Structure 1
Amino acid sequence: MNRTTETPDTGRRLSRYRNRSPWRYVVAAVILLAVATYHLVPMIVSTERVTDQLKEDLTAVIGAPVTISGDTHISYWPRPEITISGVSAPQPPGRGPLVYGSIQTLTARFSLLKALTGETAFTDVTLESPTIILEETGESGGPAHSRLSKALTVSAAAGSGFRMTGVSSLSILDGTLGLSGDDDTKVIKGVNGTFSWPQLGGPMTFNGTATLNEQISDISATIDKPLELNRETASPVKLSLKNSLAEMTYEGTATRSAPYLMDGSFSFSTANTHQLGDWIDVPVLVLEDVNRLAIKGTVTRSSGSLRFSPATLSLGGSEGKGVVDLAPASEKQPLKMIATLAFGDITLSNIRSSLPAWIDAVSATPDEFSDEDWKLPALDLRLSASTVKLSDVTLEDVAASVMRSKTQTSFDIADSRLGSGTLFAHIGVQKNMAAEVDISAEKVAAEPFFRQLGFNVPLTSDSLDFDMAVDAELPFSRIAAENTTGDVRFTARGGSLAWLDFATLIEKAGTDNTFLLTYPGDTAFSFTRLKGDATLSGTELDLNDLIIETETDMISLTGSLDTQSGQLDATATITSKVDENATPASVSIIGNPLASLVRRIDPVSDEASDAP
């Protein structure tokens, strides 16, 4: 046998061969395995197989056969993912809650290793342009078929120990959600966000956006025990909703039945009350110019309503503290608010230009809301404030109330100080827009007072007593124009009246049988005391007895005045207070403040008129 002689070169090659790292072979094996997997996995984990598994899972969840009308595509690298278009499911049989609808495109990831073993598990599901119906059937409909309905049945028996795999991550892109129940379906469009419910017995979360009444809203919700919530029991929740109109947060417990919230902390704020009223379909006309409305506090449920106690209510820059009760709207009655609040300083300079306009806003008019569509909330508000600054006046130490039911509205200022005087008011408005108006003021400044009432009275006085009791038809802002009857009494001390040219009247009444009174311009007639009472009937004001006193004379005026045109038909008697022997002069006045013809009722003789 010949033996090969080992040369020095051969020995070195054998030594290098023996010293090679085994990792080279491992890497080579991995590469070969990867190549084999790349080519073999699509054969083992086929599109048809994964699609069938997904259809089977969706059918089990929904409880009705799922159909696919579009294309299917699988991407294995870098992470396995299936994309299906045209997915739909009919309404499943059995009791609810039911979930069904259609999906334009569905994308889901899955585990390749589990798929190779024949158990495909889908995660990170994305629904593009889905239309999803969530339907509540109550106890009707027979045995449960959907996975969610079955979970409710099983969880009721298992109690807190219930466990069933849910959805780890479900993303929705441009979705439409229909909430159906009690013969009513609410549609929510523009749903975008991520839904997570890993264990059906555990917490559920949603973070995203949705279009609510044409407002794109950011929504964040966490329900700790959604199955218990569905079974009419309480569950801890965290809710947050924010859009361009309002922001609302709640953290506490909630139930499925109205008014939903149980015990927790609540906050709500808006910078646009007028648009908010349109958004929630409840008019807020009286606050349409308030730049901020907010309420926050601790909320509890009390006899079917929500009680905020303590509560803080902010109107513009004003803040009130107290108790607020809200009773949700129903088919039989609108939203009802009962509140007792104490404010510091309230500034509502832009709220309304006059008290009548404010009352019109509280009461609304038939042109705005029909008898069949009474959406205004019912109110029982009792308010107090250190000061209330309106457009023209400032009320101090105010105690007021606003009551509104479906048949009537009442507004009362039970007590207030206006300057150095006091103001009391009661306005009761029936549903037919007939109103009872009682206003009483003592020692108030005349100009801002009448301006706040919406009356154009050319009277200036720092000490006016005024009483009015009339029946009127709303709108109250037209109270001086039509459909108003009642009595007015007033007394003013130390002021002026820019109406008729009373100075010329006093001067000529004793000497001229006929003369003309023209508009006095900016010259007001000063008086020491003015007192009178009148009866209002539509635009006709009957002056029963108007007495105007100066230092030297007294004018007594009776007759009628048209408050709209200014037409006057009256009799005046001028009496001297300094000359007891002077004969009072009686004249008739016909015309208006611009031009009035005056005639002596008892003409003076030519000799008397010619006397020096």
Structure 2
Amino acid sequence: MSSPLIRRGIWAIGVAVLVIALAVAALPLVASTRIVRDRIAWEMSAWSGFRVTIDGAPRIEVWPNFRAILTDVTLSQWTEGDAPPVIEAERVEVNLSAMAALRGDVVFSTARLIRPTIRVQRAAHGFFLPALPSGGRITRSIDIARAVVSANPAKPDLSKLPADPFGTVEFRNGRVVTSVDGKDAEILSSLSGQANWAAMNSNATLSATGIWRGESVAVDAASSNPLVLFGGGAAPMTLSFKAAPANFSFDGVASMSENAYFDGQAKFAAPSLRRVLEWSRAGIAPGAAIGSVSVSSKVTATSGRIKFENTEIALDDNPGMGALDFSFGEARPVIAGTLAFETLDLRSFLSAFTPLAPTDGAGPGEIDISVADRIDLDLRLSAAQATAGAIQLADVAAAAQVK
């Protein structure tokens, strides 16, 4: 009696293996006939909100992952037919669901952009940003989050946020450009990284590396509730920026509403202030710049103002404490505050804000008064020991003003 049962079991296993083998073998045929180029473009458009075009015919690969390889892909705004694409990529690799493919559906969890070009424009606040889509699932999810936040800004109902699955977007060897006199001017090159966002109501992370103004930079950002953040609500956020000239990090709460603000702990460190100012093209190049600078502070930033409280600062390894207030008005930025040091080189410190013209002799140089066109300064300083050139000072209290 057991022998027929064994034979039937072997036949059942054989049939199952044959069905699986036929299904795998049929995937490229099914994909090539049912998951056509327009279907993939439509799904990408539905998510991004841009008009997606794919010039090259998709190539389907089954092993080691079932995926579609697309060439000459562009994402453009629907309303501006003559404008250049917001994003264009030489190649896009999309990981597909095999089971969904057999049903004739397109479901993908990972999109990989190879050599993409991202076009950005300078916004009113001075930052470069890409054009925003007019629709799409991501935009609609943000609109829903904005309504949830508006209903209860202090404690939005997170259960009402969309839970659509999203996935991972990778980018390799890309660049960011902007238009200058009708031509593309490169801002960022060698851009690589990935964004992970499993679902609209889950946490998200972003990691990216690139070359900006000749220096390699690395950016990492994360939020436990990015949809609330994009919807104008307050949400936890971490951000780090690393480069040879300077490192910066922030850990706290942020809001991206019309009355945007940041509240948390920030750290900044640079081995050479001169190099940072030259690299950032701030327009303030000190004549006898401070060497190393490090700052750790509680930061509260609102529109037009940044407050640094409980600030720990070190200038050329001379530690100090205090508070600073940066205000950005219509005329010039204003820096005000109080700093206390154990030891301080006054000439080196003031040259960071009021460049001193170099002289051939040992005496002090002249102050470059053009700095008054760029910044207003009002600082109160104290130090147990201080130097001003060859002069030694003790128990110093001083005010430094530039107007």
Note whether the superposition's TM-score is higher than 0.5.
yes
SS of equivalent residue, structure 2 residue 364: helix
SS of equivalent residue, structure 2 residue 276: helix
Q: What is the aligned partner in structure 2 of residue 51 from structure 1?
A: 37
SS of equivalent residue, structure 1 residue 118: coil
Task: Supply the AA of the counterpart residue of 1:145.
Answer: G
Q: What is the aligned partner in structure 2 of residue 488 from structure 1?
A: none
Shift of residue 297, structure 1, vs aligned partner: 1.3
- Does 1:93 pair with 2:79? yes
- Does 1:327 pair with 2:327? yes
- Does 1:131 pair with 2:130? no
SS of equivalent residue, structure 1 residue 77: coil
Q: What is the aligned partner in structure 2 of residue 300 from structure 1?
A: 300
Task: Supply the AA of the counterpart residue of 1:208.
Answer: A
Task: Supply the AA of the counterpart residue of 1:335.
Answer: P
Rounded to whole Å, the distance in 1 between the matches of 2:222 and 2:295 is 22
The 5 A counterparts of 1:413-562 are none
TM-score by length of 1: 0.54
The 5 A counterparts of 1:377-388 are 377-388=375-386
Shift of residue 227, structure 1, vs aligned partner: 4.0
SS of equivalent residue, structure 1 residue 46: helix
Task: Supply the AA of the counterpart residue of 1:320.
Answer: G
Shift of residue 231, structure 1, vs aligned partner: 4.3
Q: Find 2:364's aligned residue among 356, 375, 382.
A: 356
- Does 1:111 pair with 2:97? yes
State the Cα RMSD in Å: 3.5
Shift of residue 41, structure 1, vs aligned partner: 2.5
Rounded to whole Å, the distance in 2 between the matches of 1:255 and 1:385 is 38
The 5 A counterparts of 1:2-13 are none
Q: Please say if residues 37 and 54 of structure 2, whose CA atoms lie closer than 8 Å, have aligned partners that are also in contact.
A: no
Specify whether residues 309 and 164 from structure 1 end up closer, same or farther in structure 2 by C-alpha distance, changes over 3 A only. same
Structure 2: where are the runs of 5+ without partners? 125-130, 150-157, 180-184, 352-357
SS of equivalent residue, structure 1 residue 114: helix
Shift of residue 116, structure 1, vs aligned partner: 0.9
Q: What is the aligned partner in structure 1 of residue 19 from structure 2?
A: 33
Shift of residue 157, structure 1, vs aligned partner: 3.3
Shift of residue 345, structure 1, vs aligned partner: 1.4
* Larger Cα-atom Rg: 1
Rounded to whole Å, the distance in 2 between the matches of 1:199 and 1:179 is 31
Rounded to whole Å, the distance in 2 between the matches of 1:200 and 1:135 is 27
Specify whether residues 177 and 169 from structure 1 end up closer, same or farther in structure 2 by C-alpha distance, changes over 3 A only. same
Q: What is the aligned partner in structure 2 of residue 153 from structure 1?
A: 143
Shift of residue 228, structure 1, vs aligned partner: 3.8
Specify whether residues 178 and 397 from structure 1 end up closer, same or farther in structure 2 by C-alpha distance, changes over 3 A only. same
Question: What are the Cα deviations for residues 468-526 of structure 1, in whole angstroms up to 9, with x where unaligned?
Answer: xxxxxxxxxxxxxxxxxxxxxxxxxxxxxxxxxxxxxxxxxxxxxxxxxxxxxxxxxxx
The 5 A counterparts of 1:68-467 are 68-93=54-79, 100-133=86-119, 144-159=134-149, 160=158, 161-165=160-164, 167-177=166-176, 187-256=187-256, 261-286=261-286, 288-301=288-301, 304-328=304-328, 332-347=330-345, 356-357=364-365, 359-360=366-367, 363-364=368-369, 374=373, 376-405=374-403
Specify whether residues 137 and 248 from structure 1 end up closer, same or farther in structure 2 by C-alpha distance, changes over 3 A only. closer
Q: Please say if residues 71 and 92 of structure 2, whose CA atoms lie closer than 8 Å, have aligned partners that are also in contact.
A: yes
Question: What are the Cα deviations for residues 302-321 of structure 1, in whole angstroms up to 9, with x where unaligned?
Answer: 68411111111110110111
Q: Please say if residues 232 and 258 of structure 2, whose CA atoms lie closer than 8 Å, have aligned partners that are also in contact.
A: no
Rounded to whole Å, the distance in 2 between the matches of 1:239 and 1:207 is 10
Shift of residue 222, structure 1, vs aligned partner: 1.3
Shift of residue 259, structure 1, vs aligned partner: 9.3
Specify whether residues 285 and 103 from structure 1 end up closer, same or farther in structure 2 by C-alpha distance, changes over 3 A only. closer
Specify whether residues 268 and 47 from structure 1 end up closer, same or farther in structure 2 by C-alpha distance, changes over 3 A only. farther
Specify whether residues 112 and 346 from structure 1 end up closer, same or farther in structure 2 by C-alpha distance, changes over 3 A only. same
Which shifted more, 105-114 or 222-231? Answer: 222-231
Shift of residue 131, structure 1, vs aligned partner: 2.0
Q: Please say if residues 211 and 217 of structure 2, whose CA atoms lie closer than 8 Å, have aligned partners that are also in contact.
A: yes
Task: Supply the AA of the counterpart residue of 2:172.
Answer: L
Shift of residue 85, structure 1, vs aligned partner: 0.7
Q: Please say if residues 28 and 61 of structure 2, whose CA atoms lie closer than 8 Å, have aligned partners that are also in contact.
A: no
Specify whether residues 284 and 314 from structure 1 end up closer, same or farther in structure 2 by C-alpha distance, changes over 3 A only. farther
Rounded to whole Å, the distance in 1 between the matches of 2:302 and 2:142 is 28
Rounded to whole Å, the distance in 1 between the matches of 2:108 and 2:299 is 41
Specify whether residues 334 and 275 from structure 1 end up closer, same or farther in structure 2 by C-alpha distance, changes over 3 A only. farther
SS of equivalent residue, structure 1 residue 168: strand
Q: Please say if residues 259 and 305 of structure 1, whose CA atoms lie closer than 8 Å, have aligned partners that are also in contact.
A: no
Rounded to whole Å, the distance in 1 between the matches of 2:339 and 2:259 is 22
Question: What are the Cα deviations for residues 564-611 of structure 1, in whole angstroms up to 9, with x where unaligned?
Answer: xxxxxxxxxxxxxxxxxxxxxxxxxxxxxxxxxxxxxxxxxxxxxxxx
Shift of residue 239, structure 1, vs aligned partner: 0.5
Rounded to whole Å, the distance in 2 between the matches of 1:319 and 1:74 is 61
Q: What is the aligned partner in structure 2 of residue 60 from structure 1?
A: 46
SS of equivalent residue, structure 2 residue 77: coil
Rounded to whole Å, the distance in 2 between the matches of 1:144 and 1:212 is 30
Shift of residue 179, structure 1, vs aligned partner: 8.3
Shift of residue 197, structure 1, vs aligned partner: 2.5
Rounded to whole Å, the distance in 1 between the matches of 2:16 and 2:389 is 84
Structure 1: where are the runs of 5+ without partners? 1-14, 406-612
Task: Supply the AA of the counterpart residue of 2:241.
Answer: L
Task: Supply the AA of the counterpart residue of 2:336.
Answer: I
